[in-house]
Amino acid sequence: MNWREIETTRRHLGAPRGGYYFYALTRELLRRGRFFLRRRLSRGEFISVNLETTAYCNRACPFCFNHPRFPPRERGLMAPDLFHHLVAELAALNFRGRLSLYFYGEPLLDRRLPEWVRHLREKLPRAYLHLATNGDLLTEELFLALIRAGVEMFFITDYAEEAQPHLIRLREKYPFHVELRRMGEARLTDRAGMIFGRGRELAQPCLRPASQLVINWRGEVLLCCHDFYGRYKMGQVGEKSLKEIWHSPEFRQYRELLAQGQRSRLPLCRHCDDTGAVAF
């Protein structure tokens, strides 16, 4: 925790010192309270959620399923009823892990975002709200609207050929809320062996499906964030509760196989070179 960064951010946000320091401190404690999250994990609960409100993206990066060399998937926006149902379920579970608004769509294309983030913040006061974006549309005005609505961290990957100055400015002005990396700094996975075709076969355990709930714009719960085409649908939000889906025999069986390193038993996982680390 860097107090100078916090003070820089606070000044630019124009927030009162006492209130903002208290917020920063509690946020850090929640974020770092992995001990408590680990206890939840050991009780068989998910500790992070990836939630896609829009399936559209303004880019088509060559190392992403959104590139035209890959067959397209059906795209759309999450229905408001579905979103509200989902948030109510997470609230009933007292969800307090990381909630990231991302699957393969660019969240800033969704104009409902500030209102929806406000709703998430209100219903899930202890969750850590995280927004993964390419930052192309991230004006300072939108950034501030989302921070005030409740986003705690922007995880920005700048995919432009030249570093984008507006993103560097945001990082300099609001360091406590912005993680910025350039394309090329990121370690790219083969996304279940489908992007680069590296053909690696790892026998190491994968704990992603034991720690993370992935929900696409249609409300389908998927085995993993690399399952772009939804080959392993674990259930449909609204038809079964999140708890029922998470503890379903099918999900548990896949989780156990993967925890034992038996990736080869699942076609999706056979050539996956992801580390399989716990998704915090």
Query: Would you say 96 or 208 has its CB closer to ligand SF4?
Result: 208
Q: CA 29 → CA 23, 205, 218, 226, 260, distances in Å?
A: 10, 29, 33, 30, 32
Among 170, 223, 242, 257, binds ligand SF4 (CB under 6 A): 223
Among 134, 211, 212, 216, binds ligand SF4 (CB under 6 A): 134
- Mark residues 155-174: x for contact with ligand SF4 by CB under 6 A, - for none: ----x---------------
Asked if 104 interacts with ligand SF4 (CB under 6 A), we say yes
Q: Which of residues 62-81 bind ligand SF4 (CB under 6 A)?
A: 64, 66
User: Segment contacting ligand SF4 (CB under 6 A): 142-150, 162-170, 234-242, 271-279?
Assistant: 271-279
Sheet holding 178-182, edge to edge: 178-182, 153-158, 128-133, 98-100, 48-51, 212-215, 220-222, 233-236
Q: Which of residues 224-263 bind ligand SF4 (CB under 6 A)?
A: 224, 226, 258, 263
Tokens describing residue 137: 């549309």
Residues facing residue 236 across a β-bridge? 220
User: Segment contacting ligand SF4 (CB under 6 A): 24-32, 145-153, 160-168, 272-280?
Assistant: 272-280
Q: Strand, coil or helix: what is 154?
A: strand
Q: Output the smallest distance, CB 25 to ligand SF4, in A.
A: 33
| CA proximity to 51, closest of 207, 219, 242 | 219
Q: Output the smallest distance, CB 176 to ligand SF4, in A.
A: 24
Query: Would you say 177 or 263 has its CB closer to ligand SF4?
Result: 263
- Structure letter (DSSP) for residue 195: S
Asked if 210 interacts with ligand SF4 (CB under 6 A), we say no
H helix intervals, 64-218: 80-92, 113-123, 140-149, 165-173, 208-211
Query: Among all chains, which residue has been given the structure tokens 């990066």?
Result: 61
Non-local (6+) Cβ contacts of 26 within 8 A are: none
Asked if 277 interacts with ligand SF4 (CB under 6 A), we say no
Q: Are 279 and 208 spatial neighbours (Cβ–Cβ below 8 Å)?
A: yes
Non-local (6+) Cβ contacts of 72 within 8 A are: none
Query: Would you say 21 or 229 has its CB closer to ligand SF4?
Result: 229
Q: Output the smallest distance, CB 47 to ligand SF4, in A.
A: 16
Among 29, 60, 88, 277, binds ligand SF4 (CB under 6 A): 60
Binding site for ligand SF4 (CB under 6 A): 57, 59-61, 64, 66, 104, 106, 134, 159, 192, 206, 208-209, 223-224, 226, 258, 263, 268-269, 272, 274, 276
